[in-house]
Amino acid sequence: MYGTLENFLMNKIIYKIFILQAIFIVGLSCNNNSAMPELNEKSSQSTNPANINFIIDETVKQNLLSETTNDSKEPSLLLSETTNDSKEPSLLLSETTNDSKEPPPLFIEHIVVTNDTLWDLGSKYKIAWQYIFWNNLSLLSSPSSLFLGQKLAIPILPVISHTIINGETIGDISARYEVDVSLITDFLYNNVSSIDNIDIGEILYIPNGKLNFYTVTLSFYYCESVDANKYPVGDGGNFCEIMRNGQKVYPGAAACAYRFLGQRFTIFNDPLGLIYECADTGNLVLGWHRDIWFQTNKEGWEWIKVVGDSADIVILDE
């Protein structure tokens, strides 16, 4: 009897163990169904031992993958660490840029040959002809005043070079060329750390800048009279000494209204190709009038016959 009871209890224990195992297996199967639908689809096809092994193997792989991802680091942190082991992305880019690629020169030198025109050069270098003209005002008195062998600076981008003068601010420059200050300060070829930190003589490049022409009336005055019966005397002679700016008269000096003293400009179609400066003034010089100084009345008369008594000027600084 005891043996029978003992056997009954043993069988009951075994049966409970079997039930617990079955519950465990069912629970494992449910977990696999929610986490790995692709494996559940395969396991539903067959329940033989080979398939069970396959499920277990794949489960182990998935768990390893999950642990590797979750237990190591967040993807963003991994990227950060990988980057930090070598270099910061921005520094790496900066160093690569500096070591391998410098910005190309902003200007190309062109030597004028027969039949060259600014319009043809603009087409050849794929830049508006005005930017060639505006960057060579010290050489060109007009867009048609090219000569053989002349060296022109051709910009590869629509920019105008500007040399900073005393008292000038970036705000002044931006207003003159009709562009935003940020276009100047952010331009790749400018080295501007602050809008308040610019130096006299420094060259700034003005992207998409414009220069306007102003129409003025012209006359001449001079130092020495030569054959007054043959050559008109203009605004008068005997101006041989010191001008309003404290300098002695010189070629390229002009008398202008007082508010324009110090202004530099070029004259469209000027046969001399000079840069003029408002260095003198007088009671008869009003508005936009420009009175140009010459050594003799003969020189002044021959000049004004070519240019005319009115012309367009380009102001180089205000």
pTM > 0.95:
no
Check if 107-207 and 213-317 are the same fold: no
The answer, yes or no, to whether residue 311 has pLDDT greater than 80, is: yes
Predicted pLDDT of residue 26:
52
Compute the mean pLDDT over every residue in the chain, rounded to the nearest whole number. 75
CA distances 137 to 45, 95, 134, 270, Å, are: 86, 38, 6, 11
Q: Is 184 exposed, middle or buried (0-12, 13-18, 19+ CB in 10 A)?
A: buried
- What are the helix and strand counts (H, E) for the chain? 10, 10
What are the beta bridge partners of residue 163?
203
pLDDT digits (tens, 9 = 90+) for 166-204: 888 899 889 889 999 999 999 999 988 777 778 888 999
Q: How many CB atoms sit inside 10 A of residue 77's CB?
A: 10
CATH value of 107-207 in 3.10.180.10, 3.10.350.10, 3.20.20.150, 3.40.50.620: 3.10.350.10
Range 38-55 average pLDDT = 40
Helical (H) or strand (E) element with 254: strand 253-255
pLDDT digits (tens, 9 = 90+) for 133-171: 989 987 776 777 788 999 999 999 999 999 888 888 899
Residues of the chain above pLDDT 90, percent: 40
The answer, yes or no, to whether residue 221 has pLDDT greater than 70, is: yes
Predicted pLDDT of residue 223:
94
Distance CA 190, CA 68 (A): 49
Predicted pLDDT of residue 35:
43
Q: CATH 2.40.40.10: does it fit domain 213-317?
A: yes
Cβ-proximal residues to 213 (8 Å cutoff; 6+ apart), any chain = 268, 312, 313, 314
Backbone torsion region of residue 303, taken as left when φ is above 0, otherwise alpha when ψ lies between -120 and 50, otherwise beta = alpha
What are the residue boundaries of the structural domains of the chain, listed by start?
Answer: 107-207, 213-317
Range 195-215 average pLDDT = 87
